[in-house]
Amino acid sequence: MLLIALVLYLLIWNALQTVRVDGDSMDNTLQNQDLLLASKVSYDFGGNPQRGDIVVLVPPGDSSRDFIKRVVGLPGDVIEIDGSGGKSKFLIKAGGKGDFQQLKEPYLPEDWTTMNFCCTPQGMQSNAAQPVTIPTADYFVMGDNRNRSSDSRSFGFVPRKNILAKAFLRIWPLNRFGGLGAGPSLAGLALAPATAWLGLRRRLRTRRRQEPFTHRA
């Protein structure tokens, strides 16, 4: 029984870790001093980080500390951050295909007004909205508290090997015990009225050209 208990302990020790949140970069999803449970094996059996996962990672260029952030961009995605018009938008072509879609993130605690233009070829903030393709085996991560987060906008894309674990459960404080909430979703962008009208006129012209003519004797 002692041997079985020791084996189970070692398995759990190597599969899970506790993570203490330090700072407010993930407010309101995670708060300072929250204690989380994270899986160190979630991505070891053929799986990869998914959009919305909250992960423990080593930031590029600084191996002295671990960060906890949310994955928002996946390998092959074309991403762009546009802060014009007074409302920041995170735009994605998922897998590099189709039209841009906007990332819907109901968990953000406030309007996002800083570091709201991206991206350079390395995935960092820029002076204007610029699309960039996330390289193979790299990820784009951000804190939920966008105005107070050091994330990919500061240090660039995160290699897969730098992602250590997936956080999945808050175990302290007890009054907030439970899962970490729902992730983001993608929504199509609404066309501007003028653009929509031009598109409708094109469709009508195409339809007229395709309709057969009738001849009345």
80 in any annotated domain: yes
Report the predicted TM-score, pTM, of the whole model to 2 decimal places: 0.83
Give the residue, 81 or 11, on which the prediction is more confident. 81
> Residue 49: which CATH number?
2.10.109.10
Residue 174 or 205, more confident: 174
Residue 141 Rama label (left phi>0; alpha psi -120 to 50; beta): beta
Q: Is residue 37 part of a domain?
A: yes
Q: Please report whether residue 2 resides in a domain.
A: no
Q: What average pLDDT does this structure show over 25-45? A: 94
* Phi, then psi, of 105 in degrees rounded to 5: -130, 85
Mean pLDDT over 196-208 rounds to: 44
Q: What is the dihedral of CA 162, 113, 83, 192, to 10 degrees?
A: 130
How many domains does the chain divide into? 1
Q: Is the peptide bond before 59 cis (omega within 30 degrees of 0)?
A: no
User: What are the backbone dihedrals phi and psi of residue 208, each rounded to the nearest 5 degrees, phi first?
Assistant: -60, -40
132 in a structural domain: yes
pLDDT value for 47? 87
26 within domain boundaries: yes
DSSP per position, 152-178? HHHH--EEGGGEEEEEEEEEESGGG-B
Amino acid letter, 200:
L
pLDDT at 190: 56
The pLDDT tens digits for 104-133 are 999 999 999 999 999 999 999 999 999 999
pLDDT tens digits for 1-16? Answer: 888 777 776 667 678 9
Catalytic annotation, residues? 25, 69
For residue 203, count other CB atoms closer than 10 A to its CB: 10
The CA distance from 9 to 35, in Å, is 20
Domain that holds residue 23: 18-185
pLDDT value at 137 more than 90 = yes
Asked if the structure places residue 191 within a domain, the reply is no
In a domain, 166, yes or no: yes
pLDDT single digits (tens) 37-75: 999 998 987 789 999 999 999 999 888 999 999 999 999
What CA–CA distance (Å, rounded) separates 19 from 38?
A: 7
162 in any annotated domain: yes
Calculate the average pLDDT of the chain. 87
